[in-house]
């Protein structure tokens, strides 16, 4: 568990129940990111253990999305290191020097990391089934019938078994987002990233998406979720991190960070969203 503190724990891997040493699912060490003169991330360090759910909260522009996008190398980190399941993201370390990774290897790394976007980003020219089978067939060489079989199972899991042959635009926002989750799960990722998955939804559709995410967390998926849904964060998260101005201001158990914030900035933010 990473609920205690970010500082002083940059060292080795955690010890699981059996005593074997397994790496954290996500480990960020002093991650910096800038766009030109604008420093967006100013030294983020945190860990997410296996099967844990980390919720990132914070005001607009605080760098939540940017950090999420760094985790699967959609953005290049300018300083610091990021590991997913013990593997350095975006670079290779050889002889003490960092080598930029070949795009093919970066693509391979991303297959272990599912991502769900605020705007769903389903492929509008493909049916729901093709949206889900697309990546397995193209990237892992899965056979189409098997991929479709698995896609149907995933659709069943998100409660959309009857929508396999629909096109995305024929679905409601909530249904589209559930398809997007199924699509991200099709590659059997170790880690799921969610960037405000319910922010574009009508209020009455938020619940159905959060239910799917809750099931996923219960099934043991490691998740990093950027969200403004404090109820969800309180209930599902193992850790909540409050970000502001490119740094993690406060991190800990949801009951502490949301229920009893220590920093003024956290209190000010929470008073606006709660």
Partner 1 sequence: MSAVNVDAASPAPVAGAGGPHRIDAIPLRHPGRWTAAVVLIIAVALFLYGAATNPAYSWDYYAKYIFDQRISKAATVTLELTVLSMILAILVGVLMAVMRLSPNAVLRGVSWTYLWIFRGTPVYVQLVLWGLFATIYKSIRVGIPFGPTFFTITSADAISVFWLAVIGLGLNEAAYMAEIVRAGIISVNHGQIEAATALGLTWWQTMRHITLPQAMRIIIPPTGNEVISMLKTTSLVTAVPFTMDLYTRSRDISAETFTPIPLLLVASTWYLAFTSVLMVGQYFLEKHFAKGLRRAGAHG
Ligand X SMILES: Nc1ncnc2c1ncn2[C@@H]1O[C@H](COP(=O)(O)OP(=O)(O)OP(=O)(O)O)[C@@H](O)[C@H]1O
Binding site for partner 1 (CB under 8 A): 72, 74, 103-104, 107-111, 113-115, 117, 119, 121-127, 134-135, 138-139, 167-169, 183-184, 187
The option from ligand X, Mg ion, partner 1, none interacting with 110 (CB < 5 to 8 A, set by class) reads: partner 1
Half-sphere exposure of residue 85: CA atoms within 13 angstroms, side-chain side: 13
Residues in the chain, overall count: 274
Tokens for 91, please give them: 């670079």
Q: What is the nearest approach in angstroms of partner 1 to the Cβ of residue 107? A: 5
The burial class, CB within 10 Å (0-12 / 13-18 / 19+), for 94 is: exposed
Under rule CB under 5 A, residue 62 binds Mg ion: no
Under rule CB under 5 A, residue 65 binds Mg ion: yes
Q: Where are the alpha helices (DSSP H) in 127-263?
A: 128-139, 144-157, 173-185, 203-218, 230-236, 254-257
Binding string, 21-40, against ligand X, x = CB under 6 A? --------------x--x-x
Which of 61, 86, 255, 259 forms a contact with ligand X (CB under 6 A)?
61
Q: CA 22, CA 12: separation in Å to the nearest integer?
A: 9
Under rule CB under 6 A, residue 64 binds ligand X: yes
Tokens for 173, please give them: 């926002």
For partner 1, the closer CB: 213 or 253: 213
Q: Is 96 helix (H, G, I), strand (E, B) or coil?
A: coil
Q: CA 267, CA 260: separation in Å to the nearest integer?
A: 9
Task: Tell me the window of 62-70, 155-163, 211-219, 260-268 that interacts with ligand X (CB under 6 A).
Answer: 62-70
Task: Tell me the window of 63-71, 125-133, 139-147, 209-217 that interacts with ligand X (CB under 6 A).
Answer: 63-71
The option from Mg ion, partner 1, ligand X, none interacting with 162 (CB < 5 to 8 A, set by class) reads: none
For partner 1, the closer CB: 125 or 272: 125
The option from partner 1, Mg ion, ligand X, none interacting with 62 (CB < 5 to 8 A, set by class) reads: ligand X
Residue pair 107/90 in contact (Cβ under 8 Å)? The answer is no
Sequence-ordered list of residues with C-beta below 8 angstroms from that of 67, at least 6 positions apart, any chain: 28, 31, 33, 41, 44, 56, 243
For ligand X, the closer CB: 182 or 243: 243
Name the residues that contact ligand X, by CB under 6 A. 35, 38, 40, 58, 60-66
């Amino acid at each position: 568990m990473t609920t205690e503190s970010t500082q002083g724990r940059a060292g080795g891997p955690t010890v699981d129940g059996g005593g074997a040493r397994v790496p954290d699912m996500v480990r960020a060490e002093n991650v910096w990111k800038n766009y030109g003169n604008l420093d967006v991330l100013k030294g983020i360090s945190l860990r997410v253990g296996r099967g844990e759910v980390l919720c990132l909260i914070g005001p607009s522009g605080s760098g939540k999305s940017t950090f999420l996008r760094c985790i699967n190398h959609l953005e290049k980190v300018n300083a610091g290191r990021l590991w997913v399941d013990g593997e350095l993201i975006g670079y290779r370390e050889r002889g003490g020097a960092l080598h930029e990774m070949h795009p093919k290897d970066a693509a391979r790394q991303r297959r272990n990391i599912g991502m769900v976007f605020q705007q769903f980003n389903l492929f509008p020219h493909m049916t729901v089934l093709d949206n889900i089978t697309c990546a397995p067939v193209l990237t892992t060489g899965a056979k189409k019938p098997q991929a479709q079989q698995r896609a149907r199972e995933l659709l069943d899991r998100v409660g959309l078994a009857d929508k396999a042959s629909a096109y995305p635009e024929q679905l409601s926002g909530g249904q589209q987002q559930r398809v997007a989750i199924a699509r991200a799960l099709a590659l059997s990722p170790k880690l799921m990233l969610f960037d405000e998955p319910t922010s574009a939804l009508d209020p009455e559709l938020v619940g159905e998406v959060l239910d799917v995410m809750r099931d996923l967390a219960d099934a043991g998926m490691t998740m990093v979720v950027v969200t403004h849904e404090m109820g969800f964060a309180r209930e599902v998260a193992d850790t909540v991190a409050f970000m502001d101005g490119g740094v993690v201001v406060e991190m800990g158990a949801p009951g502490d960070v949301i229920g009893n914030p220590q920093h003024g900035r956290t209190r000010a933010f929470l008073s606006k969203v709660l």
